[in-house]
Amino acid sequence: MAEQTYSKTELMICVAARLFEDSSTCFIGTGIPMLAAMLAAKTTAPNLVPVFEFGGLGAILEELPRAVGEARTFHKGLSASGICDTMETAQRGFIDYGFLGGAQIDPYGNLNSVVIGEHDHPKARLPGSGGGNDVGSLCWRTIAIMQHDKRRFVSKVDFVTTPGYLSGPGAREAAGLPRNSGPAYVVSTLALMDYDPGTCRMRLKAVHPGVSVDEVLEATGFELVVADDLSTNPPPSAEELRLLREEIDPEKLYI
């Protein structure tokens, strides 16, 4: 077997980038989602419309933004407004995808980025929601990007920051959230997951190169459904790696 020439982070970015649909509107967070959006715009989704929390809409991402409110998120954009306008755009149903992260995720795609342990007496207090609740509630589909281990993939999150399918089929609608919305994928350091349409539970869709199904199951703190058509994600291509290393993140801020 040839020696692996890419990192786990680079693989995650490439797998996430391939999930972007061309001409879709996508709410982009800081870090890996930015790199994935830039890679998608240079490869499979040239008409991608990135949306940033602090008001940048449709920016041309020629240089990697450092945060969701800095100048590069407005560069040559369609509009430059503010956070209230961005959230209202999502509430009106105009944002297709939201890319999110968190400290914990459960079988139904609920995310926690607030506390570990009890809310009033936590073991650790995390950065908080930011726009995470709004994105998970109002964008039509969400994609989570996570490190994969039992501390993060848990049977029940300590706090629901961002709603997934809540407790299962019908729960989002009962809570007043848009019908036919919810989590679409999870990209982890081990695999790509989607959700079973009948049960709304997380489902193993494709493992990363060199990763076995047993490794993924062992690193997951709940029973993970395995897709009948389970596959292996293609490794990063030479062109994807060139774009990441030379054009997108030459300073290696994330990769």
Choice among 53, 118, 173, 239 that is catalytic: 53
DSSP string, the chain: -PPP-S-HHHHHHHHHHTTPPTT-EEE--SSHHHHHHHHHHHTT-TT-EEE-TTSEES---SS--SSTTSGGGTTT-SEE--HHHHHHHHHTT---EEEE--SEE-TT--EE-SEEE-SSSEEEE----TTHHHHHHHSSEEEEEE--STTTB-SS-SS-SB-SSTTSTTHHHHTTPPTT-EEEEEEESSEEEEE-TTT--EEEEEEPTT--HHHHHHT-SSPPEEEEEEEEPPPPPHHHHHIIIIII-TT-S--
Given the DSSP bridges, would you call strands 49-51 and 25-27 parallel, antiparallel or unpaired? parallel
What per-residue confidence (pLDDT) applies to 126?
A: 85
Q: Is the dihedral of CA 81, 82, 85, 91 positive or negative?
A: positive
One-letter amino acid of 52: F
pTM: 0.93
Mean pLDDT along residues 226-232? 97
Whether 45 maps to a domain, the answer reads yes
Whether 185 maps to a domain, the answer reads yes
Neighbours of 224 (CB within 10 A): 18
Query: In whole angstroms, what is the distance from residue 97 CA to residue 22 CA?
Result: 12
* Tally of domains in the chain: 1
Whether 1 maps to a domain, the answer reads no
CATH number at residue 234: 3.40.1080.10
Given the DSSP bridges, would you call strands 25-27 and 97-100 parallel, antiparallel or unpaired? parallel
Mean pLDDT along residues 34-61? 94
pLDDT tens-digit series, residues 128-176: 888 889 999 999 999 999 999 999 999 999 999 999 999 999 999 999 9
Please say if 53 is a catalytic residue.
Answer: yes
What per-residue confidence (pLDDT) applies to 30?
A: 83
Joined together, the tokens standing for residue 162 give 């961002």
Indicate the average pLDDT of the chain. Answer: 94
Res 2 pLDDT > 60: no
Whether 37 maps to a domain, the answer reads yes
Which residues form the domain of 180? Answer: 8-248
